[in-house]
Structure 1
Amino acid sequence: MPETAFASPALHEALASISANDSPQARDVWKMLATSGVVSALYDPPTPDGRWGLNPARLQTTLTALDAVLPLGTTLSFCVQAATALPLLRDALPDSLAGRTAREAVAGHITLALAATDTAAAGSDLTAMGTRIEQEGDMLVLTGSKRWIVNATTADHALVLARRRPGDHFTHFSLLLVPLTAPGVRVEPADTLWFDGAGIGSLHFDAVRLSADHLIGSPSRGLAAFARSISTERLASGLWANALASRVLTQTHRMLTRRRIAGAAQWDNTAVRHEFAALLIDQHRLQAMCEKACSPTPGGPPPTVAAALLKAAGAETLERTLTVCARLQGAEAFERDGLHHLRTEAAMFGIAGGTSHTLRDLIADHAETLLDIRNPAS
């Protein structure tokens, strides 16, 4: 199925439903996209890319379309579910609780959150988390807190990464599927002015008792599964950053050609044109990286590295684009929901899913692979 065919019936139907709603809530958006077939199309044949657990070109098409019509927070709500939580659940056995929950989410009947960032540790240091699981007979007992969780206040279930043993070995962590209505779960909205529609908050677990079927996959493979899924989240981040940068450049170019200073269009100023051209160069580089990430390349870098490259490039390109465009827009950028508001929210592209500094370390570790340096002795 060509991507234009995918975008035409399913996505256009969903966008029409979303646009008909004056202020669609994130849960409503998810349901509209699911019932229109957009969500299932991300994972169904023809051949989802095995590197990412979904079809990256369809994800790019969907994120671009949603970014054009929805606030950043609402698109973020969709992105976390589609690119991270659902691929994790879909890896589970079809007849397991996780597998059944995945089907319910794809159908739009329920919504999901991914709870990894821990109250007891810095966001990038997951192995220092304090949230833990203890075995009591046939039951699992979950205690701890997760913070800055997207969809915390709107989800039905959370995928919770928790410690099952002391220490930082990767086998000491498990993933649990936690109903947010379970006794002992408390949801606390985040005190923030940003990310309307993302349902950001904290999840507190006070001796939450769950049966063993709430484990997602092997008890010792929680962190490994999360590490695989984070590559898809980073891919989505880069694809979305490219869509957002392109949209802002288009809006700014329209403004510059319309606005007149001393009788001439602002666009006719050579300094303005050169600054804008530099942003176009950056965005087209990012677009080329997106296309490469969406097309399997024999002998290319592993998915973890390809995703890190794309996410880091996306964050840096978007930061420069929003900073310069906000300056070029002048006073209009300070309006309610103007470009300075978006700049603040878009800072998450350099933080969530791994900070840009963390990604640079990962990229540097694979410098020889990326440079295709051969061993002279081979």
Structure 2
Amino acid sequence: MSDLAAAGPGLAPAGADPGSADGEVSPDGWRHLLGRALAGVPAGAPAPAVWRALGEAGVLRRLYRDGNALGPVVDPARLGDLLRTVDARGDNGATLSVLVQAASALPILGSGASGRSGRSGGAAAAPSPVAAARERVLAGSAQVALAATDEAAAGSDLSGLGTEVRFEDGGLVVHGGKRWVTNARSAEFLLVLARRRPGRHFTDFSWVLVPTGTAGVTVRPAATGLLANAATGHIALDSVRLPADHLVGANGRGMAVFARHMSTERLAGAQWAVALTARVLADTRARLRGRTVDGEPLWHNAVVRRDFAECLVRVAQLRALCEDLAGTAAKGQNLSAGALLKSAVGLTADAVLARCAQLQGADGFAAGGAQTVRAEAAVLGIGGGVTELMLDSVADQSEQLLAEWRT
């Protein structure tokens, strides 16, 4: 473990820039730490290598400032810096892999990681399996996949999921299937959202920690060529038996914990959308300045400049919304914040990336070009809630929002 990781969350090691009187690293020190952590990771490296480097450098431990009964609370500024640094590598699959773990899976795992397995004779109590798994994930030596989307229901209908968990013979039995799970083919642990009893009430669901090597767990690749480094897969859970201490958090609090951290994932998606669109816009501008028509760079064409400027305005608006709502979204205290952010991403990212792909012309169809980036970025308007449903949620909150904006 690095000196920084050993120092623990919120503490700087000897010789580090403390940044403030309480030992917190400064914003510049944090960004330097991120750059140093990934400096030795080759371009195109598997996502687990990126995650391992972040863990070994102590980045993951320092991502969360405090917490409550429903799990740790991420530092939104540090989360944004993390996603921007990973996105700069140009591998959307790896960025998605990091985003889901950092913004959702790790906080949910943290909601049930305080327990211990008990004592044996005079020996000190060992960490519970959930706490031990979280430590491995924070250290970067393991990955965790968030297995929520169910094969028995549409992704937007989580309360209709068919995967079940039941208590039997003093342990747990998990049965069902999950689909389109990021990190499914690379993770050592699965966080499975399962039904504990019939019904659609939010207390009818729980989280279960399932090691991927457990008998009855089968993972197969998702049939897609996009986001290859996200290791997306489908999971079959055939009467998987686990000890009772693999339940994550209190029984029946699965949806409450998920809802608490969903707005953080939506903030992360918006932060990534800003980083990704800015990266593609910079590449597009460079291409427009380098290509000429009748001796004049395309960048000087009035129509091209107007369209590009519209894209800049859209991204600037999304960035401002991120900054305005970051605090409330990260704390999970304002449901409208997550819905607004997710809706704004859906309305912004594809429009900007589509225009960039068009402006790049034939170059946009090159391997890994703007057309591919646009297709991969479509996950921002689908994963975690499709744009249309998010807009419906925003409409439901219109009275509250309008009242706030008039004060």
TM score, norm. by length of structure 1: 0.93
Change (3 A) 1:28 1:212: same
Change (3 A) 1:219 1:335: same
Q: Please tell me whether residue 23 in structure 1 is matched to residue 48 in structure 2.
A: no
Offset, 1:135 = 2.1
- Structure 2 CA distance, aligned partners of 1:373 and 1:354? 24
Find the partner of 1:312 among 323, 343, 350. Answer: 343
Find the partner of 2:164 among 132, 142, 164. Answer: 132
Would you identify which runs of 4 or more consecutive aligned residues in structure 1 move more than 4 Å?
none
Q: 2:218 is paired with a residue of what secondary structure?
A: strand
Offset, 1:185 = 0.6
Change (3 A) 1:33 1:217: same
CA RMSD, 1 decimal: 2.1
Q: Please tell me whether residue 14 in structure 1 is matched to residue 37 in structure 2.
A: yes
Q: 1:357 is paired with a residue of what secondary structure?
A: helix
- Structure 2 CA distance, aligned partners of 1:179 and 1:79? 21
- Structure 1 CA distance, aligned partners of 2:310 and 2:61? 38
The corresponding residue for 2:87 is: 67
Change (3 A) 1:373 1:246: closer
Which amino acid is the alignment partner of residue 134 of structure 1? Answer: R
Task: String of CA shifts for 1:107-166, please: whole Å, max 9, x gaps.
Answer: 112110000000111111011111111221202111110000001000000100011111
- Structure 2 CA distance, aligned partners of 1:229 and 1:240? 17
Task: String of CA shifts for 1:190-225, please: whole Å, max 9, x gaps.
Answer: 111111110100111111011110111111111111
Given that residues 301 and 370 in structure 1 are in contact (C-alpha distance below 8 angstroms), is that contact kept between their aligned partners in structure 2? Answer: no
Offset, 1:294 = 2.8
- Structure 1 CA distance, aligned partners of 2:233 and 2:239? 19
Given that residues 105 and 191 in structure 2 are in contact (C-alpha distance below 8 angstroms), is that contact kept between their aligned partners in structure 1? Answer: yes
Offset, 1:374 = 10
Q: How many residues were matched structurally?
A: 368
The corresponding residue for 2:393 is: 362
Which amino acid is the alignment partner of residue 190 of structure 2? Answer: A
Which amino acid is the alignment partner of residue 71 of structure 1? Answer: D
Q: 2:49 is paired with a residue of what secondary structure?
A: helix
The corresponding residue for 2:289 is: 257
The corresponding residue for 1:221 is: 253
Q: Which 10-residue stretch deviates more, 363-372 or 274-283?
A: 363-372
Given that residues 117 and 148 in structure 1 are in contact (C-alpha distance below 8 angstroms), is that contact kept between their aligned partners in structure 2? Answer: yes
The corresponding residue for 2:101 is: 81
Change (3 A) 1:51 1:139: closer
- % identity of equivalent residues: 43
The corresponding residue for 1:170 is: 202
Offset, 1:93 = 4.2
Offset, 1:92 = 2.0
Task: String of CA shifts for 1:348-372, please: whole Å, max 9, x gaps.
Answer: 1110000111111211121122112
Structure 1: gaps spanning 5 or more residues: none
Structure 2: gaps spanning 5 or more residues: 1-24, 116-127
Given that residues 73 and 195 in structure 1 are in contact (C-alpha distance below 8 angstroms), is that contact kept between their aligned partners in structure 2? Answer: yes
The corresponding residue for 1:159 is: 191
Which amino acid is the alignment partner of residue 2 of structure 1? Answer: S
Which amino acid is the alignment partner of residue 372 of structure 1? Answer: A
TM score, norm. by length of structure 2: 0.86
Within-5 A mapping of 1:1-378: 1-8=25-32, 10-18=33-41, 21-44=42-65, 53-95=73-115, 96-295=128-327, 302-372=333-403
Which amino acid is the alignment partner of residue 95 of structure 2? Answer: T
- Structure 1 CA distance, aligned partners of 2:273 and 2:251? 34
